[in-house]
Structure 1
Amino acid sequence: MFQRKSKSPQPSAEFVCLLTEHQADLWAYIIAQLPGCQDVADILQKTNLALWTKQDQFELGTNFKAWAFRVARFEVLAYLKKSKRGSWLVFREELAETIASESADEMDSSMERLPYLDACMQQLRPEDQQLLKHRYQANAPLEDYAQKTGRSVSSLSVTLYRLRAALRSCIKEKLQEERGNA
């Protein structure tokens, strides 16, 4: 396992920075492992606690993200084992590890596209930006927005589908432009 070079009881500033810097990555990783799960925040909190208590096992200068994902994976497995709900399909460990690895790779790719998403969002009409923010940032039901705007839920769903397709196309174009210029 990793060993931290300094054995001081207080965490190093670097460790705290790394832990803080990777919160969004950990959140996304846990969501990828448990889509639709209502307990993601609790699992992230347990992951953070485990990382904090195991900080002496981490060597500064090595891959913090990989280490943190491994700890998060064990927290996800512990959650699945504890919950054993009928609604969860539990995979063999090898398959679960493959899914976890691919999720991490896909998240790296998603993080590469994030700056382009902001640029593409700015190209949308203000009312389309508001719809997307309502749906994905506020995480609120479409019914609320439909009542507020006087539109039907089905028309909003169609608009969201088209907006996602337009954003995907815009991001793809920007990535191709950057790779062409590189």
Structure 2
Amino acid sequence: VDPPRAEEPPPARVERAQRPEPVVGEVRDAAGATPTGVRFNQLRGQLRFPVRGELVGRFGAPRAEGGTTWKGVFIRAGNGAEVRAVAGGEVVFSDWLRGYGNLIIVDHGSDYLSIYGNNDALLREEGDRVGGGEPIASVGSGGVGNDSGLYFEIRHQGQALNPMQWMRLD
């Protein structure tokens, strides 16, 4: 399936644009804790990968198309594989975005976000609460070298962080 052209938003985007905008964080704990009560910054080195697969694009490495470096990682995985939230939080974006394809962003509080791009299907909508390990999307294709896989980032206050420093490697 070809991605929609930028001037023609997908029907789901048009429908969402006509709904009232949810107040981001209206149900978020004021202390910035995930639903389990643990602050996201305490989870460094403890997160599970959002999908099983092979790491083929590494944070900080030059991108094949040149000019930029990876701000996240690309994990090659089978088309349709289940993508899971790395920690609990609130979905603040769930739609198609140029450069990312079908994208989900989860706000974990305290200005931490996890970003999941290159998805085939988005299983959650803006405003949904998710727990760590819950399915949020399925892997799509068209990523690195047209491989199927997941593009994944972690950001704090808008700055990309190396996701590998947050993952459990066992």
The TM-score bracket by the shorter chain reads under 0.3
Between structure 1 and structure 2, the one with the greater Rg is: 1
Larger relative helix fraction:
1
Say which structure, 1 or 2, has more relative contact order (CA 8 Å, 6+ apart): 2
Q: TM-score, normalised by structure 1?
A: 0.25
